């Protein structure tokens, strides 16, 4: 570094680069030296300069420190020469020594600062990765345990590959953290795709797609969908350890035949349609004669295989049970809301539209208000008198059944 500053041409190069980054050809024109000499000097400047992939030269951090030091020394007031040659020589030696010391100290300081910044950056990156791994470890372990202990898939039989993993915060669910993982399980005679959804680090949905062969289990499985569902729910209850799952398991045990059946006990309502190898079982929270369907557990069986288990019971809460708006009043409110409703399609605003006299459907179900609390809601759907811009031919009006407020109006196209 110090030998690089001895040559005046190199100091001139540093001054040029201190003004602005330049290319090799621009530097040749500014310095007025041959290209071979310029190449030689650039190589000897070493770490004081850098070159990007576009061929533009600029000062490095060390180079900036060196130029700053050069300017300090060059701008120092001139000392009047004395008659004594010995004093002049001593002054030159002192100035040169001071220059070297300043450059050394500046270079060391810059180097230590860069090293410290780099270390802090690497430490922060490692901490982020470590925290990320910790946050994923819980759900990954839970997914594997669920497969082995609840579904009883023989994981030792399969080669597992993570296909995708997404994590997001669901503002519409009160800020719940949602993680979705897709795995491929492959063996010589069986290929499966498994999807797990976790909300707030608890299993919310399990889905299985059999692409080849049949699932390989670690235990003998039941010969019909009903018994298989009872076994899964019992094991899931032990897996999670929640009282509501124990109550659900006991309620399902009351189903003893292949049929469509509805059983209500306390705040739980069981709807089951089971026939031999196939079945759909849903256990819903009910209160004040309102079925809060999002707060439920559902199992779907195909060919005695659990292809889906969805659990929203633990996440959703009941916000209100009062139903103050009748279906007739909800239809009236929907018609009034549509009188001032408009939409824009293909740059065209549609406001004057007609609806059929009677609603296509009137549905009653709870919904959330940007949180995990459920409120009763009416959904009134009308056919339009014709197809409008955007291929719109239906419109649905969502009305809160406790207050009568319009929650949303949604157009529907073909």
Q: Is 176 a domain residue?
A: no
- Tell whether the model's pLDDT for residue 80 goes beyond 70: no
Q: Is 131 a domain residue?
A: no
Band the pLDDT of 241: cuts 50, 70, 90: very high
- Tell whether the model's pLDDT for residue 135 goes beyond 50: no
Per-residue model confidence (pLDDT) at position 2: 56
Percent of the chain with pLDDT over 70: 86
CA–CA distance, 384 with 359 (Å, rounded to integer)? 10
Q: Are residues 60 and 36 in the same domain?
A: yes
Q: Is 218 a domain residue?
A: no
Q: Are residues 307 and 331 in the same domain?
A: no
List CB contacts of 252: < 8 A, sequence separation 6 or more.
229, 230, 233, 270, 272, 281, 283
Q: Is 316 a domain residue?
A: no
Q: Is 320 a domain residue?
A: no
Q: Are residues 352 and 385 in the same domain?
A: yes
pLDDT tens, 188-226?
A: 999 999 999 999 999 999 999 999 999 999 999 998 999
Hey, CA dihedral for 175, 195, 272, 232, is it positive or negative?
negative
411 strand-pairing partners? 395
- Which range is least confidently modeled, 34-48, 64-78, 125-139, 321-335? 125-139
Single residue among 114, 145, 177 that ends a domain in this structure: 114
Share the mean pLDDT of the chain. 87
- Tell whether the model's pLDDT for residue 320 goes beyond 80: yes
Q: What is the mean predicted confidence (pLDDT) over 379-408?
A: 96
Q: 3-state SS string over the chain?
A: CCHHHCCHHHHHHHHHHHHCCEEHHHHHHHHCCCHHHHHHHHHHHHHHEEECCCCEEEECHHHHHHHHHHHHHHCCCCCCCCCCHHHHHHHHHHHHHHHHHHHHHHHHHHHHHHHHHHHHHHHHHHHHHHHHHHHHHHHHHHHHHHHHHHHCECHHHCEEEEEEEEEEEEHHHCCEEEEEEEEEEECCCEEEEEEEEEECCEEEEEEEEEEEECCCECCCCCCCHHHHHHHHHHHHHHHHCCHHHHHHHHHHCCCCCCCEEEEEECCEEEEEEEECCEEEEEEEEEECCEEEEEEEEEEEEECCEEEEEEECCCCCEECCCCCCCCHHHHHHHHHHHHHCCCEEECCEEECCCCECCCCCEEEEEEEECCCCEEEEEEEEEEEEEEEECCCEEEEEEEEECCCCCEEEEEEEEC
Q: Are residues 307 and 404 in the same domain?
A: no
Percent of the chain with pLDDT over 90: 60
Q: Are residues 341 and 298 in the same domain?
A: no
- Which range is least confidently modeled, 4-8, 177-181, 253-257? 4-8
- Tell whether the model's pLDDT for residue 254 goes beyond 70: yes
Q: 31-35, 53-57, 104-108, 288-292 — which one is most confidently predicted on average?
A: 288-292
CB neighbour burial string for 258-291, b if at least 16 within 10 angstroms, e if fewer: beeeeeeeeebbbbbebeeebbbbbbbbbbeebb
Q: Report which of 64, 331, 305, 350 is spatially closest to residue 208, judged by C-alpha positions.
A: 305
Q: Are residues 341 and 379 in the same domain?
A: yes
Domain that holds residue 31: 3-114
Q: Are residues 300 and 358 in the same domain?
A: no
Q: Are residues 307 and 352 in the same domain?
A: no
- Tell whether the model's pLDDT for residue 122 goes beyond 80: no
Q: Which has more confidence, 224 or 119?
A: 224
Single residue among 247, 282, 311 that ends a domain in this structure: 311
Q: Are residues 20 and 94 in the same domain?
A: yes
- Which range is least confidently modeled, 132-146, 170-184, 356-370? 132-146
How many domains is the chain built from? 3
Band the pLDDT of 129: cuts 50, 70, 90: very low
Per-residue model confidence (pLDDT) at position 100: 74
- Tell whether the model's pLDDT for residue 9 goes beyond 90: no
Which residue bears the tokens 């290209």? Answer: 35
Single residue among 90, 114, 138 that ends a domain in this structure: 114
Per-residue model confidence (pLDDT) at position 75: 57
- Tell whether the model's pLDDT for residue 133 goes beyond 50: no
Q: Are residues 331 and 300 in the same domain?
A: no
Q: Is 392 a domain residue?
A: yes
Q: Is 195 a domain residue?
A: no
Q: Are residues 41 and 87 in the same domain?
A: yes
CATH number of domain containing 102: 1.10.10.10
Per-residue model confidence (pLDDT) at position 66: 76
Q: Are residues 290 and 356 in the same domain?
A: no
Per-residue model confidence (pLDDT) at position 130: 47
Per-residue model confidence (pLDDT) at position 81: 46
Q: Is 186 a domain residue?
A: no
């Amino acid at each position: 570094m110090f030998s690089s500053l001895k040559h005046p041409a190199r100091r001139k190069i540093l001054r040029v680069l201190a003004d602005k980054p330049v290319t090799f050809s621009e530097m040749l024109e500014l310095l007025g030296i041959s290209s071979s000499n310029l190449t030689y000097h650039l190589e000897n400047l070493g770490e004081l300069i850098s070159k990007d992939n576009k061929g533009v030269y600029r000062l490095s951090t060390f180079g900036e420190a060196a130029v700053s030091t050069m300017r300090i020394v060059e701008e120092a007031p001139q000392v009047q020469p004395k008659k004594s040659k010995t004093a002049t020589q001593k002054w030159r030696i002192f100035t040169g020594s001071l220059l070297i010391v300043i450059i050394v100290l500046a270079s060391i300081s810059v180097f230590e600062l860069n090293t410290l910044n780099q270390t802090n950056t690497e430490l922060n990156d490692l901490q982020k990765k470590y925290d990320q791994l910790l946050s994923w470890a819980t759900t990954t372990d839970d997914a594997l345990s669920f497969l082995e202990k609840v579904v009883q898939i023989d994981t030792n039989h399969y080669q597992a590959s993570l296909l995708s993993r997404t994590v997001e915060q669901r503002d519409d669910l009160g800020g719940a953290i949602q993680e979705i993982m897709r795995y491929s399980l492959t063996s010589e005679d069986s290929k499966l795709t498994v999807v797990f959804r976790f909300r707030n680090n608890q299993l919310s949905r399990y889905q299985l797609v059999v692409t080849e062969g049949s699932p390989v289990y670690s235990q003998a499985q039941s010969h019909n969908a009903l018994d298989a569902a009872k076994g899964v729910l019992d094991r899931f209850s032990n897996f999670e350890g929640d009282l509501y799952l124990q109550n659900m398991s006991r309620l399902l045990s009351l189903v003893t035949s292949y049929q469509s059946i509805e059983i209500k006990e306390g705040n739980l309502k069981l709807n089951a349609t089971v026939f031999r190898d196939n079945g759909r079982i849903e256990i819903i929270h009910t209160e004040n004669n309102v079925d809060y369907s999002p707060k439920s557990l559902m199992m779907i069986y195909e060919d005695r295989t659990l292809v889906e288990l969805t659990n929203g019971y633990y996440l959703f809460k009941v916000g209100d049970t009062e139903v103050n708006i009748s279906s007739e009043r909800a239809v009236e409110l929907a018609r009034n809301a549509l009188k001032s409703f408009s939409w824009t399609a293909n740059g065209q605003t549609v406001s004057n539209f007609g609806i059929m006299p009677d609603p296509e459907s009137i549905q009653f179900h709870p919904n959330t208000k940007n949180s995990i609390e459920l409120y009763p809601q009416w959904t009134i759907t009308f056919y339009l008198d014709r197809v409008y811009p955007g291929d719109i031919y239906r419109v649905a009006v969502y009305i809160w059944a406790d207050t009568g407020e319009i929650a949303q109006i949604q157009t529907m196209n073909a």
